[in-house]
Amino acid sequence: MKNILLVSTSLNPGSRSRKMLKIIEEKMQNVDLNVDFVDLIDYELPFCDGRHPLSEYGEHAVKLDEKIKWADAYVFGMAVYCYSISGVFKNMIDICCGGMANKPFGIAAASGGTMSYMAVEDLQKILSFEVRSIAYPRVVFAANEHWDKDGKRDEGLMDPIPERIDEFVESFSNFIKKI
């Protein structure tokens, strides 16, 4: 059975991309995959400065790297920061992307504005150029307007996003199993 790692990369305690990833995790319990979840909020990573080997970045980096190597595929929860990925996420990629080489990945992205959806292209570009990862083209994306304003920050995900998550889980899982 294939291993899939869900990686939440936002440090916001009320992260919406994390919430979408949690929904994806729940839905993936019904597919034939080993699913694990890691949250960068639980990992203390120093800034990447080119040191080598990876163990020089400490035990959290080693632990994260082991999880990344274990996986056959990934889904990243991505916060759109300045029309791109966050610095925290980029730093994690700088340190730990070796284990992602040639493997497929999907994206669940949260942004403020609806026009920021093209920020996911930065992540697709970074990983495909750096380690020849395979970007899955169907992305889950939600902007501020897709969340109920009256609830907690990460509650009240509105249509059509839940349906898109269902479609994503089904099609991405099938894709992973076939390759």
Ligand X SMILES: Cc1cc2nc3c(=O)[nH]c(=O)nc-3n(C[C@H](O)[C@H](O)[C@H](O)COP(=O)(O)O)c2cc1C
* Residues of this chain that bind ligand X (CB under 6 A): 10, 12, 15-18, 79-83, 110-113, 116
Nearer to ligand X, 87 or 137 (CB): 87
User: Least separation, in Å, of the C-beta of 121 and ligand X?
Assistant: 13
Q: Is 129 helix (H, G, I), strand (E, B) or coil?
A: helix
Output the smallest distance, CB 50 to ligand X, in A.
25
> Considering the complex, what minimum distance in angstroms separates the CB of residue 151 from ligand X?
14
- Of 85, 87, 88, the C-alpha closest to 105 is 85
Nearest to 103 by CA among 67, 66, 133, 138: 133
Nearer to ligand X, 126 or 176 (CB): 126
> With respect to ligand X, which residue has the nearer C-beta, 81 or 175?
81
SS3 131: helix
Whole-angstrom distance, CA of residue 98 vs CA of residue 177: 22
